[in-house]
Structure 1
Amino acid sequence: MEDWLHTILGPDQAPASTAHLCARAVVLFLYGLLCMRIAGRRSFSSLSPFDIFIAIIVGSNISRVMTGGVPFIPCLAATMVVVVMHRLMAMATMRSNWLALFVKGRADVLARDGHVDQAMMRRHDVSPEDLAEALRMQGIDDVKKARLVTFERGGKITAIPRSPAS
């Protein structure tokens, strides 16, 4: 089987021809789809810091395989181990609050009832301009019009507007 792979995909750590790189591209495209299916949709949609870290590792490994910088099969196997570990960690964090807190962190309140928590803003490196921009993107033109502003686990700022009566 190894001879067959070398014929189609080219040598592992030597210059590859255009045909070899194109064959690798097809194999790696399908392999990337397999990785996404195993990792689950959540991994590539929410993009928490943990998910971004995994995506960088997978992308880096696949690019090195594409150019022939590393042995083809061992690198794909190692990449699959990372993807499976990510999936198992995601499943474990669904069942364990303390593990989810460790891996994903927690949401923190930046403002409540129009009052900004300056210490929490500094902790997350959120400037007043960043806060104002996030509020505007959600249709709120002043923090005093927000009932709750939260720095979410994935790094996004979300806001709940105050009801018109308050």
Structure 2
Amino acid sequence: MILTPVIDSMFHLPVPVLEKLLRPVVVYLVLVLLLRLFGKRELAQLNPFDLVVLLSLSNTVQNAIIGDDNSVTGGIIGAFSLLAINWLVVRVLFRSPRLTRALEGRAAVLIRDGHIDRKALERESLSREELVEVIHRQGFEHVHDVHRCELEPNGSFYVEAKDPSIADKRHDELMARLATLSQEIAALRARPATT
């Protein structure tokens, strides 16, 4: 039958199954360690250079994960192995906050009460311009409008306003006006009717 050689080449494993299972696990653990060592900035994707690094990273480790194997079976085993190690790591970290902090690190406070912490920026390899771009994306015009800005271990930014936002101020003003109008209406209703 003609399909037999095609099917054999699609599903034939040129490397042992144990090796197929271990390769993705080793690469996964090394990548987690390297991303932890190189900092949160790599996860934040702040500029085109960082994005290129993250996109190239998957292609760089591809051969380390699959080896000389292009079979469907090898791909399925590799995918299973990656998903299994990720599932295991997530479960272990969920049960151990101490281990989570050790692996992920802590948030870096970049702005406190409207003042930039230059040492924290330097530790995270961020420029002032990149930080300003982040707070602009969050809807703040100036650094002094920010009470606190943190770079979280997962690469996201938490930005807290120093003062209530303009929308909050307008809401408070509107509520005060409504309260005043309600009092005036109640006073008008309480007056005796004069004819």
- Tell me the TM-score normalized by structure 2: 0.51
SS at match of 1:100: helix
1:56 and 2:58 are equivalent in the alignment: yes
Judged with a 3 Å threshold, the aligned counterparts in structure 2 of structure 1 residues 7 and 78 are, in CA distance, closer, same or farther, namely: closer
Task: Check the 8 A contact 1:113/1:162 in 2, yes or no.
Answer: yes
1:146 — aligned with what? Answer: 146
Unmatched tracts of structure 2, length 5 or more: 14-41, 44-53, 166-195
From the CA coordinates, give the structure whose radius of gyration is larger.
2
SS at match of 1:155: coil
Task: Check the 8 A contact 1:149/1:157 in 2, yes or no.
Answer: yes
Amino acid at match of 1:99: L
Q: Structure 2: how far apart are the matches of 1:147 and 1:115? A: 8
Q: Structure 1: how far apart are the matches of 2:73 and 2:103? A: 30
2:174 — aligned with what? Answer: none
Q: Structure 1, residues 70-122: CA drift from partner, whole Å, max 9, x if none? A: 34323421331121110111121112112212332221111111121111100
1:87 — aligned with what? Answer: 87
User: RCO higher in 1 or 2 (8 Å CA, sep ≥ 6)?
Assistant: 2
Judged with a 3 Å threshold, the aligned counterparts in structure 2 of structure 1 residues 82 and 115 are, in CA distance, closer, same or farther, namely: same
| Structure 1 consecutive aligned stretches of length 4 or more whose deviation exceeds 3 Å | 3-6, 8-13
Q: Identity of counterpart residues, as a percentage? A: 21
Q: CA RMSD in A?
A: 3.7
SS at match of 1:154: coil
- Tell me the TM-score normalized by structure 1: 0.59
Shift of 1:69: 4.5
Shift of 1:136: 0.3
Unmatched tracts of structure 1, length 5 or more: 14-47
SS at match of 1:125: coil
